[in-house]
Amino acid sequence: MIERSSIEISLSDIAQKSGANAALVKYHFGNKDGLLLALLARDAATEMSNLEYLLAQPITATAKLKLHIAGIIRAYHRFPYMNRLIHYLLHESVAGSADEVSKFFVAPLLDFHRRLLAEGVSRGEFRATDPVLFYTSLIGACDHLFFGRHAMSRATGVGPVTDDVCRQYIKHMETLICGGILTQVEEAAAAG
Amino acid sequence: MIERSSIEISLSDIAQKSGANAALVKYHFGNKDGLLLALLARDAATEMSNLEYLLAQPITATAKLKLHIAGIIRAYHRFPYMNRLIHYLLHESVAGSADEVSKFFVAPLLDFHRRLLAEGVSRGEFRATDPVLFYTSLIGACDHLFFGRHAMSRATGVGPVTDDVCRQYIKHMETLICGGILTQVEEAAAAG
């Protein structure tokens, strides 16, 4: 999928590439959706164990949040098919896929946000923030760098998502999520 | 599409519902994608003329940004098919649709963000912010409240997108985009 930059592959393509028997692939995964789900579940499990590790570090909640933002954007960049797969499984696939995506992707990530936000609030670092709304805004913003970029690329001044664009977006998201867009003067005025 | 909460409709469904002749619908729009594009173009044109009006108002750039955030979320909520259509046209449709979506949706919205950010920076209200990165984060975050919500809804504590959830999300996004998640104490520490 990385080679072709597409999730439009068949079980027999996969069998051929991997040197496995097509019937064996089909026996093991049932069908293409089964294989895609297994792939996403594997990558998601790796990312989720990283989150547990991150939460246990002896650093501030703010530092954890910044590392998390960078981690999501880098994971999407490293596995470009992950984003497409999630969209595919949520929208086009057989019934039940959305439940699976929810179980191994949405639910653990949302749980991580709940715990990180609670920690940040209890330490006086974060404003009180609803975890579901926070999840929606952070994951949506990270997802959008990769989804629909080919349409954005047609607009003036928008290029492909290079390593450099990823680094810029990580910096942008850290700044925006932590401090917002207002200058400190304006913020003080808005607060006062 | 609102009635069925789906974009899975045929030209003959549309003809039947509208009382028009199916052949006439086909003659006018070419095919289903042509009709969907025409529909999205119409709704997008309305939204874009609202943006021009907003930009000309004698209010601060911060106030314009907040009204814009509320406007995007309300537009997606009012026209639930708009979000699905954009995803459909970007991913599954015939070649050329992405160009069209870019022309009447991405490009004008990005242009609006460029002008609003420039105004805010020149008035000392906003930090210097890259418009393409800003577009990506804001539109991605707003889009995500509506896209994939059925998968999110399976996670504990996540309900459907009601009017009340929309209002909460508008408030959340205004606060996050303007001031970020850090308390002012933390922010001063991070800046210093």
- Do B91 and B16 belong together in one domain? no
The mean pLDDT of chain B is 83
Lowest-pLDDT range of A120-134, A140-154, A178-192? A178-192
Residues in A closer than 8 angstroms to B142, CB to CB, are: 140
- Do B21 and B56 belong together in one domain? no
Residue B148 has pLDDT above 70, yes or no: no
A127-139: per-residue pLDDT in tens?
Answer: 999 999 999 999 9
- Do B141 and B92 belong together in one domain? yes
Q: Which residue of A has its CA nearest to B137?
A: A141
ipTM of the complex: 0.84
Contacts of B116 (CB under 8 A, 6+ apart): B55, B61, B64, B65, B68
- Do A24 and A35 belong together in one domain? no
For chain B, how many structural domains are there in total?
2
- Do B6 and B41 belong together in one domain? no
Residues in B closer than 8 angstroms to A5, CB to CB, are: none
C-alpha to C-alpha distance for B190 and B192, rounded to whole angstroms: 6
The range of the structural domain enclosing residue B74 comes to 33-191
C-alpha to C-alpha distance for A80 and A119, rounded to whole angstroms: 31
Contact B75, B145 (CB under 8 A): no
Residue of A102, A131, A157 with shortest CB distance to B132: A157
A10-27: per-residue pLDDT in tens?
Answer: 767 777 777 777 777 777
C-alpha to C-alpha distance for A99 and A97, rounded to whole angstroms: 5
Closest CA to B148 of A51, A132, A114: A132
Instruction: Report how far apart, in Å, the C-alpha atoms of A114 and of each of A121, B114, B157 are.
Output: 11, 34, 11
- Do B101 and B163 belong together in one domain? yes
Q: Which of A31-45, B18-32, B56-70, B148-162 has the highest mean pLDDT?
A: B56-70
Run of H or E including B139: helix B131-146
Cβ within 8 Å, pair A107-B137:
no
Torsion angle, alpha carbons of A171, A172, A178, A184, to 10: 110
